[in-house]
Amino acid sequence: MDTGREDFYIQPKRDASLGALVEIDGFSKVYDGSDVKAVDGLSIRIDEGDIFGFIGRNGAGKSTTIKCLTGQLPYKDGTITVCGHDVNREPIEAKKRLGFVSDDHAVYEKMTGRQYVNFIADVFGTGDERNERIDRLKKQFSIEDAFDKYIGSYSHGMKQKICLIASLVHEPDVWVLDEPLMGLDVVMMRQVKQAMADHAAKGHAVFFSSHNLDVVERICNKAAIIDRGKFLGVIDTAKFRRSGVGTLEEYFFRLTGEGDETF
Amino acid sequence: MKLFNVLLKKELLTQLMRGGGKKKDALGYIVTTLISLVFLALFVYLFVAFQSKFEPLNLVDETLTLFVAAGIIAQIIFSVSKAGAVLYGGADAKVILPLPISNLTMLAAKLAALWIKEIINSAFFILPVFVAFGIMRSLGAVYYMLAAAAIIIASLFVVSVSAMISPLYVKVKNFLLKKPYIILAASLVFLAALFAVYSRFLSVVSDMLIGNRMKFIFNKNVADTLRVIAKYAFFAKQLTDFAGGSILGFIIVLFTAAAFFAGAYFISSRFYLSYLMAHAAGRTKAARERPNKERGVTATLINKELTEIFRNPSYLFSYLSVLLTLPLFCYLSVGVLNELVVNLIGGDFLIPFALLITVMFSCVCNTGAGDVISREENKIMIVKTIPVSYTRQIGVKVGIALVIAGISDLLTVFALLFSGTLGAGACAMLFLITFAATAASVMNLVSKDIKNPVVASGAENSNVSVAVVRSLIVSFAMGAVCFVLHGIDVFFTYSGSRNALLTAAYNFTQAIGGVYGVLAIILALCVIDAAVAAFRLWNRAEDKMKKLGI
């Protein structure tokens, strides 16, 4: 594997004074009862304006990393900070800066869409500004008609939309999404990509995991690669595209030793 | 035929399987089995007692008929909802509809699986009656073989009637599910009626054990009435005749059951596909736009918990039925049990009985509040990612449960106070003890839930079974201690015996303040138990919740 030698790889910076929104340094995770590291030595930095992709195959450690970042899973090795707040030591302060969309879109189905979004806005302390944001996001994700219906009656796609709206209502510094593009139709995929671009343009950051390497290559400015728990590096996607090594998908397969079959 | 067998096997697997998850609720199975055996034993005891009482009135066969009829009716009542869920629940709609399976074949397999399940269920409803009758009459192996065949045919009849009623049941249920308050009101009325019947039932059992007032129940007028009712229980009568060796009875029950089954198959086939497709479509009506409502963090957490309770019929029922029916249940049970003991032993044991019944049922009925973490299921992700401390989130969940328990316990002691069953002092002590014991039970349960949550949907939660057993042991222990010490007091006062041991025991009870002294000691122990439970719950709660990996 040629990690680090290509010039599209970003060398790690460890200067916290430069104000990274997310700093993951030497993070490793071993599940109880296992000897295998689910994540090994991950170090990434997410800055303002970044749309940061996190790519790897199933079971590579992407969801584990995201769960530790968002406070769902405990960890012992390494540090994860969000806007300067250590997730282990100051979990509440760290979580206040995050907006999270899970891969299974778990949501309170006995609530209406509006009630759920307002619940999330309440716990994040969002004031009257929620009204304008909710109206804008409802329109942006085309869910105006169903917004006051019970979430239990929603389709899969509508539940995803509610989760997206709820995660953005408090304008988080870092928007974290776990496999957000899975199962989306072409219209909704465009809506999500636009929302990511809008969020980053406001000086915030987006961090998401995905199997869709084409989309990551096109919309992200940075992408971290992880394979079987091992962190392989962060690439600058603009430099990658100029490098001529091929598509990100082809490069990923070469990097991870998956062979060179072509379709 | 091969396809039918494949579908039948699948139906038996899905209908007989209980929940998922690796951890099986072994204690729950044991407790459920023991309770079922107790009720079974009581049912058989009543049958034998009724038989012996009605024998002088020539009402033996009619008694068997009526008990079998009652068993069949009970079995139908219990199986209607199951039939509705299996036939029209649509759980397998998305899997079945695209497959090359005829609806009629699928339906036949479902009905056949329900029939097999009913044969197993009849072990609790009809078989015990036949067996008790056979033992009482010293009947031979042929009777038991015919009884077994009768049960198989009866089960076919039960599943047929259930399947015929179930489309209406499902329609009413789907209507009511959109109106949870109607369900709650109807459930409470039903429960209140059930408790009133239960109270009457306890009186009958009490009379039976004492034996003095049975002549008012087992008289010629009652026998004549029962004879008339037995005539209308035609199917049950023919079933018992068949078990007794009647070929005509066999022909009648077989053809009746077959005719009902054909009817059930015909009715089900009319509704099955439309219900299945309705599940696949899942449309809803338009909703009115409402304004955004801003709340503080604690208020929004409370609102979220209450929304989950009030919009989920099973949670609504378990929380509010406890609130409103526990008082009635305790009042009826305490009164009847005390009357039984007064007649059997002499002396008033209201306070020990009130303590036992109230603490036991308050703790047991409030275990529903103890799966506050498990019930989040995959939404535990939300609990863990919102910027609210786990202490506050758990505090809100436990607080709501304790408020409901407190109101329920207060209404219970009010019922005992205003009915004149107990005095104000005893009621005040009873409330404090019950609330402390219930609080300890709820907090212990939540601690266990945090330590061993069962977040997989549909999986069994053994924590509740453990809590139920603990509550039973604790309440029986309290009741027993109070009963014994109060019994010493009563015995010393009424018996006139003055032996050294009894006198010493009596002096001891007086030294600690009599029954009120006992209550004070029990209260102190309950408060300590609650304090320990609170410490166990809140101590390092943040760390425990943090370690709750998913």
ipTM of the complex model: 0.85
Q: Which of A243-257, B164-178, B204-218, B303-317 is the least confident region? A: B204-218
Same domain flag for A67 and A22:
yes
Contact status of A133 with chain B (Cβ, < 8 Å): no
Same domain flag for A31 and A159:
no
Q: What is the pLDDT of residues B500-530, one digit of tens each?
A: 777 887 888 788 888 888 889 889 999 999 9
Same domain flag for A205 and A85:
yes
Can you give the pLDDT at residue B280?
58
Q: A250: part of which helix (H) or strand (E)?
A: helix A248-256
With a cut of 60, say whether residue B170 has pLDDT above it: yes
Q: Report if residue A189 sits inside a domain.
A: no
Can you give the pLDDT at residue A2?
46
With a cut of 50, say whether residue B20 has pLDDT above it: no
Same domain flag for A207 and A167:
no
Which residues of chain B neighbour A102 with C-beta distances below 8 Å?
A: 381
Q: Report if residue A161 sits inside a domain.
A: yes
Q: What is the token pair recorded at B90?
A: 């649509």
Same domain flag for A1 and A93:
yes
Residue A249 CA to its chain's centroid (Å): 19
- CB neighbour list of residue B11: distance below 8 Å, 6 or more residues apart: B86, B109, B110, B112, B113
Give the residue, B214 or B96, on which the prediction is more confident: B96
Closest partner residue to A122 (CB to CB) among B300, B379, B546 is B300
Residue B79 CA to its chain's centroid (Å): 15
Bridge-based pairing state of the strands A22-30 and A222-227: unpaired
- Judging by beta carbons within 10 Å of its beta carbon (0-12, 13-18, 19+), is residue B220 exposed, middle or buried? exposed
**Cα–Cα distance for residue pair B468/B483, rounded to 1 Å:** 22
- Judging by beta carbons within 10 Å of its beta carbon (0-12, 13-18, 19+), is residue B35 exposed, middle or buried? exposed
**Cα–Cα distance for residue pair A196/B121, rounded to 1 Å:** 57
Amino acid of residue B13: L
Can you give the pLDDT at residue B327?
78
User: Secondary structure of B180-242 in the HEC alphabet?
Assistant: HHHHHHHHHHHHHHHHHHHHHHHHHHHHHHHCCCHHHCCCHHHHHHHHHHHHHCHHHHHHHHH
Amino acid of residue A251: Y
Q: Report if residue A31 sits inside a domain.
A: yes
Q: How far is B296 from chain A (nearest CA, A)?
A: 6
**Cα–Cα distance for residue pair B465/A77, rounded to 1 Å:** 38
Nearest alpha carbon to residue B83 among B222, B216, B265: B265
Cross-chain residue pair A114–B312, CB shorter than 8 Å = no
Cross-chain residue pair A121–B386, CB shorter than 8 Å = no
Count of structural domains within chain A:
2
Q: What is the token pair recorded at B243?
A: 């078990």
**Cα–Cα distance for residue pair A235/A238, rounded to 1 Å:** 9
**Cα–Cα distance for residue pair A107/A104, rounded to 1 Å:** 9
Q: Report if residue A186 sits inside a domain.
A: no
Percent of chain B with pLDDT over 90: 15
**Cα–Cα distance for residue pair B232/A218, rounded to 1 Å:** 79
Can you give the pLDDT at residue B281?
57
Can you give the pLDDT at residue B407?
87
Q: What is the pLDDT of residues B294-317, one digit of tens each?
A: 999 999 999 999 988 888 777 777
Give the residue, A69 or B206, on which the prediction is more confident: A69
Q: Report if residue A146 sits inside a domain.
A: yes
Amino acid of residue A25: D
Can you give the pLDDT at residue B316?
74
* C-alpha R_g of chain A: 18
Same domain flag for A262 and A216:
yes
pLDDT digits (tens), chain A, 263 positions: 444 457 888 876 655 546 799 999 999 999 888 888 999 999 999 999 999 999 998 888 999 999 999 999 989 999 999 999 999 999 999 999 999 999 988 899 989 999 999 999 999 999 999 999 999 999 999 999 999 999 988 998 999 999 999 999 999 999 999 999 888 888 999 999 999 999 999 999 999 999 889 999 999 999 999 999 999 999 999 999 888 888 888 888 888 876 554 44
Closest partner residue to B312 (CB to CB) among A110, A125, A130 is A110
Which residues of chain B neighbour A108 with C-beta distances below 8 Å?
A: 304, 307-308, 379, 382
State which residues form the domain around A221.
1-97+200-263
Cross-chain residue pair A91–B546, CB shorter than 8 Å = yes
Which residues of chain B neighbour A112 with C-beta distances below 8 Å?
A: 287, 290
Closest partner residue to A71 (CB to CB) among B286, B300, B385 is B385
Closest partner residue to B381 (CB to CB) among A31, A96, A106 is A106
With a cut of 80, say whether residue B284 has pLDDT above it: no
**Cα–Cα distance for residue pair A92/B173, rounded to 1 Å:** 43
Closest partner residue to A73 (CB to CB) among B296, B299, B549 is B549
Please check whether residue A8 is in contact with residue A240, taking contact to mean a CB–CB distance below 8 angstroms. yes
Same domain flag for A12 and A83:
yes
pTM strictly above 0.90: no
Give me the residue label for tokens 């060398």.
A11
Q: What is the CATH number of the domain that holds A62?
A: 3.40.50.300
Nearest alpha carbon to residue A182 among A215, A152, A144, A142: A215
Q: What is the DSSP string of B445-514?
A: HHHHHHHS---STT---HHHHHHHHHHHHHHHHHHHHHHHHHHHHHHHHHH----HHHHHHHHHHHHTTH
Which residues of chain B neighbour A122 with C-beta distances below 8 Å?
A: 294-297, 299-300
Same domain flag for A60 and A112:
no
Cross-chain residue pair B299–A122, CB shorter than 8 Å = yes
Strand partners, A54: A209, A224
Contact status of A194 with chain B (Cβ, < 8 Å): no
Strand partners, A174: A98, A205
Q: Report if residue A5 sits inside a domain.
A: yes
Same domain flag for A205 and A91:
yes
Cross-chain residue pair A106–B378, CB shorter than 8 Å = yes
Can you give the pLDDT at residue B505?
79
- CB neighbour list of residue B478: distance below 8 Å, 6 or more residues apart: B355, B356, B359, B433, B437, B522
Q: Which of B63-77, B179-193, B465-479 is the least confident region? A: B179-193
Q: Looking at residue A262, what DSSP letter applies?
A: -
- A53 phi/psi in degrees, rounded to 5: -90, 150
Same domain flag for A261 and A222:
yes
Residue B480 CA to its chain's centroid (Å): 25
Q: What is the pLDDT of residues B455-498, one digit of tens each?
A: 655 555 566 677 777 877 888 888 888 888 877 777 777 776 67
Same domain flag for A7 and A84:
yes
Cross-chain residue pair B550–A72, CB shorter than 8 Å = yes
Q: Report if residue A215 sits inside a domain.
A: yes
Same domain flag for A249 and A232:
yes
Q: Report if residue A180 sits inside a domain.
A: no
**Cα–Cα distance for residue pair B66/B72, rounded to 1 Å:** 10
Can you give the pLDDT at residue A1?
43
Q: Which of B141-155, B242-256, B339-353 is the least confident region? A: B339-353
pLDDT confidence tier of residue B26, bands split at 50, 70 and 90:
low
Cross-chain residue pair B387–A96, CB shorter than 8 Å = yes
